Structures are given as structure tokens and as C-alpha cells.
Amino acid sequence: MNAIEVNGLRKEFKAYSSRSGLSGAFRDLFTRNYKIVPAVNDINFTVKQGEMVGYIGENGAGKSTTIKMLTGILTPTSGSVIVNGMNPHRERERFVQTIGVVFGQRSQLWWDIAVQESFRLLKKVYKVSDADYNEHMDHVIKTLDLEPLLDKPVRKLSLGQRMRCELAAALIHNPPLLFLDEPTIGLDVLVKLKIREFLKEINEKYNTTILLTTHDLTDIEALCERVVMLDEGNIIYDGALKSLKERWGEGKEISFEFLEKAELNHLETLTGDLDIKWELDERKQIFTAVTGDDEEIVSQVIARTVAAYKVRDVKINEPSTEEIIRNIYDKGMLQHG
């Protein structure tokens, strides 16, 4: 079953521009110039129940606008959105029972009351029974280490503490679908790891679908096999994170420092049957084999070289996902699809 079905989804905004000078400002008071800008430009995608998908793009690419349409906060200009079998905007009340939302920059907890009071209020809002609440939330509270925070007012919590509480709050009704918009923004590494572990766990335990928007690609790498990449309102990639790396990763580099004198010609002969290119940094005497992503070739290069020479150091370099994605945006290598 599909948790999310998006067809020809479009959202246009009016972008107002100001006229110059005093007379321009005066005229702006009465009529304003604007042009129509599509923030989301006729996109299509589906997400299956239980998938964890990274929804990525640069600032202004249209991520938040999409999430707002998927959660029923904004109505599309055209196209259709079916989430959990419903139209999010039209069937609002029934719909919100089936989703959880965490916006990293905004809070759904009440600022001045204790965390557990917020939880209790949300339990009422979502009409969760005592039995369900206890069974589910006891576990959530334990896993996210919330026990010591429960009687503190939200305003007294650190960012990391608050984000863990936000996540728990979004899960009070144990929704089958979770939208996370920058859930780890500004958090330290340990809290990030905890949140990731927790998300993996609920995905495994309840088959919860997760759509994750983040600028932190390590979140995506830790959680999502699939990424949907957005650029100026268009989907420019939808597929496995792994294939993205294979296709655009530009291979690996294996650098050797030797304890004895090595010859470039000899290394080339040793590996003549492999699809690689040797480079030499003469000043540092570092020999580098540039390869594709074939692991067999990488291991052959290392095995043959180490057998022929005494080696001081070997390093394998590959571009990070961050670099690959930067590359794609910079070079515009992908076709709009």
C-alpha cells in the first residue's frame, strides 16, 4: 500500500517586486507588481508504507511547501495528493489522527507547562486510550531518555532535550506516517545518534513510514535508502542513495606511500589489466590509483601493490555524499524528470 501518492502536484506563489524610488513606493501602495512563481512544479512520487525517504534540496527548492501540502496546511494550486488514503485538506480531522509531524524550527509543545502535561493534552486531542498511551509511551519515554524531563516546563529545556520531547509528542497516537522537517538541526552528535536509533526502531517495530527533510546528509545516510532530490520545484532525482553515489561518485582514489623506491611504470604494468589510472605526486612521493566504484578492482590494486612493495601508508578516498550532491547541484548534471 502507498502511504503517499503525489500526482502533478503544483503550488504557485505570487512573488511581489517593489518599484524603485519614492514615486514607485507610492504606486506600490495601490497596485503591486508581482509574478507567479511555481514553488513546486508538477511533481510526481509515491512512498510505500514502511519506507524511509529523504526529501532533499537546497534552500528554497520547495521542500517545506511540499510537506505543507502533504500535511494539509497548504492547498495545491493543481494536482493531487493522497496521504494515508485521504485528501489531507478535505478530511482534516480524520487525517491528522494518522500523521505525526516534527518541524525542527517550531514547537508543538506548550512552552510554560511541564512536558508531561503537554503529552496529556495531546493524548486528549488525539483521543488515545490510557492502555494504548501507557503501552506505547512508556517505551518511547524510556528509549528517548525523557524520564528526567517530564516535570520540567518546555522553556527550561535545552534544544536537544526539547527535540526529543517533540519527537515523543509527534508519536503519542502512534501514527503510521511521520513527517520530519530538519529534526536534528542544531543538535549535538550524541543526541542525533539517539534520535536516529529511535527512528530506526519505530520503523522496524511499527512499519512507520518516514519522510525526512534535512540539510544534514548524515541523517539521510543513516536512515534512508531512497532519496528524492528537489531543485527549483522539480524532482531531479528519485532513487536509491547508493545508485546516486555509484553514478555520480566519480570513483575512489587509493593513495600509497612506500618505504622503498617505486616506479610508476612498474605499478602500471602490475595493474595493466585493471581499469585504473595511476597518478604520482612527485613532491610527496605519493602514488594514487584512480578507480571506479568496483570493490573487486580496489582490492586487487591493494593486494598487488602491497605484494610488490613495502608500504608505509595506504589511504582510500571517496567523495562524501555531501560532495556528490554539491556536485550535482553545481554542474546541473541531472535532467529534470
Ligand X SMILES: Nc1ncnc2c1ncn2[C@@H]1O[C@H](COP(=O)(O)OP(=O)(O)OP(=O)(O)O)[C@@H](O)[C@H]1O
- Kindly state whether residue 39 participates in binding ligand X, applying the rule CB under 6 A: yes
Identified binder of ligand X from the candidate list 4, 9, 47, 65, rule CB under 6 A: 65
- Alpha carbon distance 71, 49 (integer Å): 16
Residue 272: phi and psi, rounded to 5, are -55, -30
What minimum distance in Å lies between the beta carbon of 13 and ligand X?
3
155: Cβ–Cβ under 8 A, 6 or more apart, which residues?
111, 112
Identified binder of ligand X from the candidate list 59, 129, 265, 335, rule CB under 6 A: 59
3-state percent breakdown (helix, strand, coil) of the chain, nearest 5: 40, 30, 30
What minimum distance in Å lies between the beta carbon of 179 and ligand X?
12
- Kindly state whether residue 57 participates in binding ligand X, applying the rule CB under 6 A: yes
- Kindly state whether residue 109 participates in binding ligand X, applying the rule CB under 6 A: no
Q: How many residues bind ligand X (CB under 6 A)?
A: 10
Piece in contact with ligand X (CB under 6 A), picked from 55-63, 111-119, 305-313, 317-325: 55-63
Residue 9: phi and psi, rounded to 5, are -75, 130
Length of the chain: 337
Beta strands in 27-147 (DSSP E): 33-48, 52-57, 78-83, 99-103
Identified binder of ligand X from the candidate list 9, 61, 144, 154, rule CB under 6 A: 61
- Kindly state whether residue 64 participates in binding ligand X, applying the rule CB under 6 A: yes
What minimum distance in Å lies between the beta carbon of 61 and ligand X?
4
- Kindly state whether residue 234 participates in binding ligand X, applying the rule CB under 6 A: no
What minimum distance in Å lies between the beta carbon of 18 and ligand X?
15
- Kindly state whether residue 60 participates in binding ligand X, applying the rule CB under 6 A: yes
Retrieve residue 136's grid coordinates.
506505547
Question: Binding string, 89-108, against ligand X, x = CB under 6 A?
Answer: --------------------
Site residues for ligand X, window 272-331 (CB under 6 A)? none
Beta strands in the chain (DSSP E): 2-17, 33-48, 52-57, 78-83, 99-103, 177-181, 209-213, 226-231, 234-240, 252-258, 277-281, 286-291, 311-317
The 8-class DSSP code of residue 299 comes to H
Residues making contact with ligand X (CB under 6 A): 13, 39, 57, 59-65
